[in-house]
Amino acid sequence: MSDFESTKLGVLRTLIALTRKVRTLFDARTGEYGLTEARARLLLHLSKSGPLTQSELAEAMEVERPTMARLIDGMETSGMVRRDIHPGDRRQRHIHLTDAAEGQVQAVLKLSEQVRADVLAGISEEDLAITHKVLLQMFDNVVKAGH
Amino acid sequence: MSDFESTKLGVLRTLIALTRKVRTLFDARTGEYGLTEARARLLLHLSKSGPLTQSELAEAMEVERPTMARLIDGMETSGMVRRDIHPGDRRQRHIHLTDAAEGQVQAVLKLSEQVRADVLAGISEEDLAITHKVLLQMFDNVVKAGH
DNA sequence: TCCATCTAGATAGATCGCTAACTGTTAGCT
DNA sequence: AGCTAACAGTTAGCGATCTATCTAGATGGA
List Cβ neighbours of A104 (8 Å cut-off, separation of 6 or more): A33, A43, A80
Evaluate if the CB of B83 falls below 7 Å from strand D. Answer: yes
Residues B109, B30 contacting (CB under 8 angstroms): no
pLDDT of residue B27 exceeding 80, the answer is yes
pLDDT reported for residue B7: 65
pLDDT reported for residue A34: 83
Can you tell me the mean pLDDT for B63-74? Answer: 97
Give A3-60 as a 3 state SS string.
Answer: HHHHHHHHHHHHHHHHHHHHHHHHHHHHHHHCCCHHHHHHHHHHHHHCCEEHHHHHHH
- Percent of chain B whose pLDDT exceeds 90: 86
pLDDT reported for residue B56: 97
Q: Count CA atoms within 13 Å of residue A116 on its CB side.
A: 18
Name which of B28, B123, B139 is nearest A17 (Cβ-Cβ). B139
The average confidence (pLDDT) of chain A is 92
| Domain enclosing residue A22, as ranges | 10-122
User: What whole-number distance in Å separates Cα of residue B136 and Cα of residue B142?
Assistant: 10
Can you tell me the mean pLDDT for A102-125? Answer: 94
Residue A129 lies in a domain: no
With CA atoms as reference, the chain A residue closest to B127 would be: A130
Evaluate if the CB of B66 falls below 7 Å from strand C. Answer: yes
Domain of residue A71, CATH code: 1.10.10.10
Q: Across chain B, how many H-helices and E-strands are there?
A: 6, 3
User: What whole-number distance in Å separates Cα of residue B116 and Cα of residue B110?
Assistant: 10
Residue A93 lies in a domain: yes
Residue A65 lies in a domain: yes
Distance from CA of A136 to the nearest CA of B (A): 7
pLDDT of residue B1 exceeding 60, the answer is no
As for how many domains chain A has, the answer is 1
Evaluate if the CB of A29 falls below 7 Å from strand D. Answer: no
Distance from CA of B143 to the nearest CA of A (A): 8
